[in-house]
Amino acid sequence: MTLPELEHIAAEVWLSFDGPPPPPRDLEPHLSLIAPLFVVTLPRLSPSAVFEWLRDRGLPLPDRDPPPMNLLGCLVAHAGSGGIFLEESLTADERRVIVAHEFAHFVLDYEGPRTRAVRRLGPDILRVLDGFQPPDDSIEIAAALADVPLGVHSHLLDCDAETEDRATALALELLAPRAAVRGGEEELVTTWQIPRRWAVIHARWIADWHQREGNSLVGKPILPLP
């Protein structure tokens, strides 16, 4: 995933609303129009709380036990749609960032790989992706599904640092696009209302982007955050 690709994805999201809104941007009011996603707020959010919410409603569960941990947000996706679960105590500004982060996981780590698999193997592969049919053992299918989540997907169960950094990069680009930010960290906090700990990350990333542009490196894959 390159820097221009992330910017393109973010721009495409807001184009569906006749252009980007002024700062501070908030995906949540538009979320159901952008993607097949719903939002659930839970107190003391944890994987166990998410699994219990799904179980109580007869919804499919991931095939692994929930790890013991506290969460700010979580994505669970199945059959092309999903839910974003949020910690109840988040401030409004933190909530905007976490919603964008989980949306980024849906786009980059769930919807994107599924779309590529369908393009390569045809729509019948959706039964395999959604866990209704075991995958064929052919080399072609195995290769096509190598990075595609099967069954119920939850990023909290198997995400690495690079995947998290990539989702954070897209989330912050959605909320405060690099091309529109001129004043660095303080502008991100005061104008775009990005919480300080996220603003520090994004300001550093924007500075790195400008340096990459100056060195003609904008086509290089993104690197994990320092």
pLDDT tens column, 127-173: 888 888 877 766 456 656 667 777 888 766 556 788 888 999 999 99
Looking at the domain assignment, is residue 164 inside a domain? no
- Per-residue model confidence (pLDDT) at position 197: 94
Q: Would 215 be classed as within a structural domain?
A: no
Beta pairing, strands 81-87 & 153-154: unpaired
| Domain annotation covers residue 182 | no
Q: What is the predicted pLDDT for the residue at 158?
A: 57
Q: Is residue 175 part of a domain?
A: no
What is the per-residue pLDDT across 165-179, written as a single tens digit (0 to 9) for each? 899 999 999 999 998
In a domain, 185, yes or no: no
Residue 97 lies in a domain: yes
Residue 122 lies in a domain: yes
How much is the average pLDDT of 36-40? 96
Confidence class of residue 220 from pLDDT cuts 50, 70 and 90?
A: very low
Q: Does the global pTM surpass 0.85?
A: yes
Q: Domain total for the chain?
A: 1
pLDDT at 144: 61
- Mean pLDDT for the stretch of residues 25-46: 93
| Domain extent for 21 | 3-159
Predicted pLDDT of residue 58:
92
Q: Is the pLDDT of residue 84 over 80?
A: yes
pLDDT for 96:
97
Q: Kindly list the distances between the CA atom of residue 11 and the CA atoms of 15, 62, 93, 96, in Å, as whole numbers in the listed order.
A: 6, 32, 21, 17
Is residue 121 assigned to a domain? yes
Evaluate if residue 201 carries a pLDDT over 50: yes
